[in-house]
């Protein structure tokens, strides 16, 4: 989820993608990222994600033109990708999602940032997020999330919605007949976390529970200590406000849960041994 200050009117942040302004080096950077990531994702990500890439024409030729991509996206789910200069304030972000518009940064990382950038760029936003928006149930979930975010702001519950976004849209996993698969864009656009999230013995993998997720802190500077697992590729949580508002009030009396902590009533899919983060802590001491 976004975190910036400024106007809450999304119109103040919409810009042209400026497709004609991308250099050959920009397109080359995209090709390197897309080719590498598509190869790593095989057998690890939901099939629907790869189908979305293909249907949208998000490939290895170069940076996608939003004008072309949006024709296909609008026809499938009524969504469009809109260009923004970077992170935007929460309310502006929620309003865009509620209007079935996905804000994406138009700039791409430099070659020396191939493996890591602090602020999401067009590769993260478009390659990582947009393919699943071709799926109607996911598209509806994002719209409902935007509408819930606007209400959460009135109830002092923005941190609850931020955690939900983090552990589903960005770093979610899902059960499939073939095993666990990635559905989160933060994982899907990161080669190292793609492997870590599914194959490392270090993190916990816990069955998704809405209240549990909204109580759980998360890491923004490293791999996750816990991943939450949806019951299926289409098992995105219901964001019925009649349920959410009382739940937010109920959670006010409960303590936050640390990223790596397990709870007695967790549905543990795999219990992590914590080796990765312990080693990082020792090396930093």
Q: How far apart are CA 259 and CA 198, in angstroms?
A: 17
Q: How far apart are CA 270 and CA 173, in angstroms?
A: 13
β partners of residue 228 = 206
Which token pair is 279? 């080693």
Which token pair is 247? 């739940």
Residue 117 in 3-state DSSP?
coil
Q: Which region, left, alpha or beta, applies to residue 255 given φ > 0 means left and ψ of -120 to 50 means alpha? A: beta
Residue 176 in 3-state DSSP?
strand
Q: How far apart are CA 18 and CA 108, in angstroms?
A: 12
β partners of residue 231 = none
Which H or E element spans position 180? strand 179-182
250 belongs to an annotated ligand binding site: no
The tokens 């095989």 sit on which residue? 42
The tokens 């940032």 sit on which residue? 113
The tokens 């009117």 sit on which residue? 9
Which of 121, 138, 170 has its CA nearest to residue 17?
Answer: 121
170 belongs to an annotated ligand binding site: yes
277 belongs to an annotated ligand binding site: no
Provide the annotated binding site for Fe cation.
124, 129, 170
Provide the annotated binding site.
124, 129, 170
């Amino acid at each position: 989820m976004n975190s910036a200050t400024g106007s809450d009117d999304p119109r103040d942040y919409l810009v042209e993608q400026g497709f004609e302004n991308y250099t050959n080096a920009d397109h080359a950077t995209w090709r390197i990222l897309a080719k590498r990531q598509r190869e790593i994702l095989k057998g690890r990500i939901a099939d629907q994600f790869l189908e979305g890439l293909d249907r949208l024409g998000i490939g290895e030729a170069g940076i996608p033109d939003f004008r072309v991509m949006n024709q296909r996206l609008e026809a499938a789910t009524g969504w469009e990708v809109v260009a923004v200069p970077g992170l935007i304030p929460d309310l502006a972000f929620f309003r865009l999602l509620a209007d079935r518009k996905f804000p994406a940064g138009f700039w791409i990382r430099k070659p020396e940032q191939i493996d890591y950038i602090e602020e999401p760029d067009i590769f993260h936003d478009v390659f990582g997020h947009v393919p699943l928006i071709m799926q109607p149930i996911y598209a509806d979930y994002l719209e409902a999330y935007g509408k819930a975010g606007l209400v959460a702001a009135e109830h002092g519950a923005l941190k609850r919605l931020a955690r939900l976004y983090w552990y589903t849209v960005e770093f979610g996993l899902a059960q499939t007949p073939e095993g666990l698969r990635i559905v989160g864009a933060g994982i899907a656009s990161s080669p190292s976390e793609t492997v870590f999230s599914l194959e490392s013995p270090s993190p916990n993998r816990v069955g998704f529970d809405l209240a549990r997720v909204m109580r759980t802190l998360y890491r923004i500077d490293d791999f996750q200590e816990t991943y939450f697992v949806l019951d299926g590729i289409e098992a995105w949580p219901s964001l019925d406000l009649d349920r959410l508002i009382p739940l937010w009030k109920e959670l006010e009396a409960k303590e936050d849960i640390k990223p790596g902590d397990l709870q007695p009533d967790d549905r543990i899919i795999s219990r992590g041994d914590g080796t990765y983060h312990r080693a990082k802590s020792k090396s930093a001491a």
